[in-house]
Amino acid sequence: MLEELRIGSFGGISGELFFSPGLNVIVGETGTGKSLLISSLKFLMGERFSFVTDDTFVEAVFKTDGDELFVRRDLKGGRSRYFLNGVRVPQRKLFEVLSPLFILQSQREGISLLKPSVQLKLLDRFSGTEELLEEYRELLNRYREKLSELEELKKQEMLREREIDILRFQIEEIEEANLKPGEEEELLELKERVSK
């Protein structure tokens, strides 16, 4: 759960916001900064904004399983720096830690929640079965590869059986011809005599 949010020089706003346990509602007139609050969380997760400066920072405190998690992103020399509990980390690490904690949803994005595929992804994410799903996908891919190999082996076996049938037929024809040693020479001589 998000407990605190501190913003510095982000789109013209600076300040602190403390959240209560349960539902927190942010309301206000158009242009009062509601969207900037959401954008500050997106900035924290790694999204880029054109209006940030070297003074921009966003800090948040999350409570997870009884522990507090301190998160910060700031800019120094035009480069982003990310921190977890005071330790500098890569952006992807911060994203990994934060993405299970909240989902940012705009008005138009709410429509995507109606899609079964999106609902399934959210269910997998919140149920903690993503690793199990990944393992299942790997096993399914291996199964499909083995199935393809089996089909290829069956095709090769059919080709071998066809080749065996052709060879058997040729053997039968040779046996039915009842050929004798020297018969070819005799036939060639006979052909030569007849053609004279």
pLDDT in tens, 30-50: 888 888 888 999 899 888 888
Over residues 6-18, the pLDDT tens digits come to: 999 998 889 999 9
pLDDT at 193 over 90: no
Whether 191 is in a domain gets the answer: no
Domain count, the chain: 2
Check residue 183 and give its pLDDT. 84
Whether 61 is in a domain gets the answer: yes
**Which pLDDT band holds residue 108 (cuts at 50, 70, 90)?**
low
Q: Determine the structural domain holding residue 83 and report its residue range.
A: 2-104
Last-in-domain residue among 104, 136, 153: 104
Q: Clarify whether residues 21 and 56 are in a common domain.
A: yes
Check residue 112 and give its pLDDT. 64
| C-alpha span between 3 and 6 (Å, rounded) | 10
Say how many residues make up the chain.
Answer: 196
Whether 192 is in a domain gets the answer: no
**CATH number of the domain encompassing residue 43:** 3.40.50.300
Q: What global pTM score does this model have?
A: 0.55
Whether 183 is in a domain gets the answer: no
The residues with which 67 forms a beta bridge, in sequence order, are 64
